[in-house]
Each structure stands twice: as C-alpha cells, then as structure tokens.
Amino acid sequence: MAKAWHDFNADPVRRTPLPRARGQQGNAVLDWRKRMSDHIAYALLVYTGLQIFVTIAALRQESSSLLPYLALVMLVVGIIPACRHFERRWTRLDDAAAADPGRAAAFRRDRATVWAMAIGLPFAVTGLFHLLALIFA
C-alpha cells in the first residue's frame, strides 16, 4: 500500500516523490500556492541583492550619468508587477487545485521563470543602460 501511495504522489516527469507539507492531521498535503509564494519571496531577496551589487558597480563606473539611477528605478518598477502576476496565478487556486500533483510541470515552468528574472534582470537592464551610456556618451 505504501508503494502505491508513493507512486501516486510521484512527479510524472522525474519519477521522484513530490514535496509535501504536513497537514493538521499529520497527513501529507501538497500546496502549490505556498511553494510559489516561498520561491517568489526568496527570488526577491536574491534579486534585491543582485540589484544593489550591479547598480553600485555601475555607479562607480559612471561619473555624471543618471542612467544607473534610471536603471535602478526600471528594475524596481519592472519586478514587482511580474512577481505579483506569478503569485496571483497560484494564489487563486482553490484547495483541491492547490494540492493537484498534475500542476507540477506548470509549477516548475513558473519557478524557472521567476528565478531567471530574479537573477538575469538586474544584469540585463543595467547592461542595457551601460550600453546606452557608451553609445550616447
């Protein structure tokens, strides 16, 4: 019986058990809403750290340009609605849909997108503004 339960809760792509949180009764409960919310929170922390690091480096290189400050504003303005979009998609789920193992592929896709934005966006936007500063300087 335990093997059948394990196979039912397995990830269909990797054939590994799906991660689950403990419910009130001690039963294992999968909640995609909480998992996405956690990933967005951690991604925002990484994003903020990278944003500060990249912007400070750009400010040290630029002497009198306002472009690094504009890049900083664009990064803040861009990430909040994007993260809110992903979180809203998952928080709208009802309890049954939030525990559906069939949503694993969509979760992995959204998780990868959130992390790609969190890591790549600070470098991409700051690099774009740095390139513009070189072109128009």
pLDDT per position as a tens digit, 6-55: 444 555 555 555 555 454 554 557 899 999 999 999 999 999 888 888 87
Q: Is residue 76 part of a domain?
A: yes
- pTM of the complete model beyond 0.85: no
pLDDT at 103: 93
Question: Who wins on pLDDT, 134 or 107?
Answer: 107
Q: Is residue 18 part of a domain?
A: no
Q: Is residue 17 part of a domain?
A: no
Residue spans of alpha helices (H) in 12-103: 32-61, 67-91, 95-98
Q: How far apart are CA 3 and CA 9, in angstroms?
A: 10
Q: Is residue 1 part of a domain?
A: no
Q: How far apart are CA 55 and CA 58, in angstroms?
A: 5
Q: Is residue 132 part of a domain?
A: yes
Q: Is residue 15 part of a domain?
A: no
Q: Is residue 16 part of a domain?
A: no
Q: Is residue 78 part of a domain?
A: yes
- Structural domain that includes position 72: 31-136
Domains: count for the chain: 1
Mean pLDDT estimate for the chain: 78
